[in-house]
Structure 1
Amino acid sequence: MPAPHTLSFDDHCASVPGARFTDWLAQRAEPFWSEATDHVFTHAIGDGTMPDEAYARYLIEDYTFITDLASTLGYLVAKAPDMQAKSRLSAFLALLTSEENDYFLRSFDALGVPRETYTQAAQGPVTRSFADLLLTSSGGGTYPEGLTCLLCAEWCYLTWGEREAEKPRPAQFYLAEWIDLHAVAGFEDFVNWIRRELDRIGPSLSAEMQERLADLFRQMSALERDFFETAWSGHPPEHPGAG
């Protein structure tokens, strides 16, 4: 029998009756999915052992990415098939450009990062690859392609956020608030909505498109892992997203 990370969705359903399409996507992304969601960087956020310089690197890169994430959501709002989906996506876009932006500014101040550093920073190679994949899938691709990449990005954060939320909060407010931003009920509801949307759409797609979505989710998972590793070590991989 083929390895689980190579099974088609039909074969997966034959071995796991009633399987969710999104669970299949995560399985097909192994080992990258687990390497991202269980990365040492994510544990250091929760237990308060995060070095300031590593978290500053991370926030600077993430800050350069916010505009691209907002554009991704804009593309998906335009391509969403109904008003309910447009409303869900636009509400998350509004949240991203308000509460989360305020968090970045307060955190940079606490970490002693000068304004010109984060406002003038260029994206590193991992961030650029990550943003390019999101933008091309949502802007130039189909609604399911863009939604798959968005799901990987947000579900990864929900996964480690909920895990770290089970621990006492770290003393650093910027770590504690980052956990809370990604373990709050509203964020969980949004990620679960994306999952339900793809669980509804995915099974009816052609086998070729299902494989395309699995490949996108796998690429995104590898880049999530690389994003955390670059912040943690200070050294980006030579080929972002490679196995």
Structure 2
Amino acid sequence: MSSAFDGSFGDFRAQSPDALFTDWLAARAEPYWREATGHPFTVAIGDGTMPEAAYARYLIEDYTFVNDLASTLGYLVAKAPGMPAKSRLAGFLALLTSEENDYFLRSFKALGVEPQVYETAAQGPVTRAFSRLMLESAGQGSYAEGLACLLCAEWCYLTWGVREARKPRPDAFYLAEWIDLHAVPGFEAFVNWIRAEMDRIGPSLTEPEQANIADLFRRMSKLEAAFFETAWTGNLPALEEDV
């Protein structure tokens, strides 16, 4: 859903009775949700037109973020309301710390990025703001708040990953595999589970709580778009205080 919507979830459902809570979150996050999922950086991954320098910048920043994502998942495992949810989140955490880590190391080698560069890299301002929002929401906030941030990050990647997977795979393995990691049935099932969990929890929240969740999702979408823009251009976009 790409049109912006400023009203409450109740107003959204009044207009679209079959709409889900996560549909409302995406609508409330415009134009940033569309900017993140459709950013030229993501299109260049699928087209195979990605400049090596831009992708190296991206991978270095993403590598610095993985540890924070793992911590976010750890918080959510602890706060999840039951064993099925804990199992889902723990399974994704195990995948993140094994298969994705191997991908980073092979890709850095292919791109000529030395270990001393990516092992000592400090997070840039956008990545730092993105990580801080996730960690604070998952660590200090409620299960729903942390889940909303995780949903934004992973649903964004599924959205562009599935889109780019419809194209012929690019020659560079690090582009082709990055698409595949975010378009495989297992990842899609995990993201769909997060959506279903959010759709289960969201409608039962109070209206102020729902508004807070929507604000978190919007701020995450804005930072996701800024993350891609920084990697794509090498320039830092202006970050406003609301992120």
TM-score strictly above 0.5: yes
Q: Cα gap change, 1:153/1:35 in structure 2, threshold over 3 Å: closer, same or farther?
A: same
Say whether 1:178 aligns with 2:188.
Answer: no
Structure-2 separation of matches of 1:226 and 1:211: 23
Deviating 4+ runs (over 4 angstroms)? 240-243
Aligned counterpart, 1:233: 233
Structure-2 separation of matches of 1:49 and 1:67: 29
Residue correspondences, number? 241
Aligned counterpart, 2:5: 5
CA contact (8 A) 1:226 1:240 kept: no
CA contact (8 A) 2:4 2:31 kept: no
Aligned counterpart, 1:224: 224
Aligned counterpart, 1:16: 16
Give 1:4 deviation, angstroms.
4.5
Q: Cα gap change, 1:241/1:65 in structure 2, threshold over 3 Å: closer, same or farther?
A: farther
The DSSP-based 3-state class of the residue aligned with 1:6 is coil
What are structure 2's unaligned runs of at least 5 residues? none
Say whether 1:154 aligns with 2:166.
Answer: no
Aligned counterpart, 1:166: 166
TM-score by length of 2: 0.97
Q: Cα gap change, 1:241/1:45 in structure 2, threshold over 3 Å: closer, same or farther?
A: farther
Give 1:236 deviation, angstroms.
1.1
TM-score by length of 1: 0.97
Alpha-carbon deviations, 1:19-77, whole Å to 9, x = none? 10001000000000000000000000000000000000000000000000000000000
- How much identity, in percent, do the aligned residues show? 71
Please show how residues 95-134 of structure 1 align to structure 2 within 5 Å. Answer: 95-134=95-134
State the superposition RMSD in angstroms.
1.2
The DSSP-based 3-state class of the residue aligned with 2:167 is coil
Structure-1 separation of matches of 2:241 and 2:193: 27
Structure-1 separation of matches of 2:239 and 2:93: 30
What are structure 1's unaligned runs of at least 5 residues? none
Structure-2 separation of matches of 1:171 and 1:4: 37
Aligned counterpart, 2:86: 86
Q: Cα gap change, 1:104/1:12 in structure 2, threshold over 3 Å: closer, same or farther?
A: same
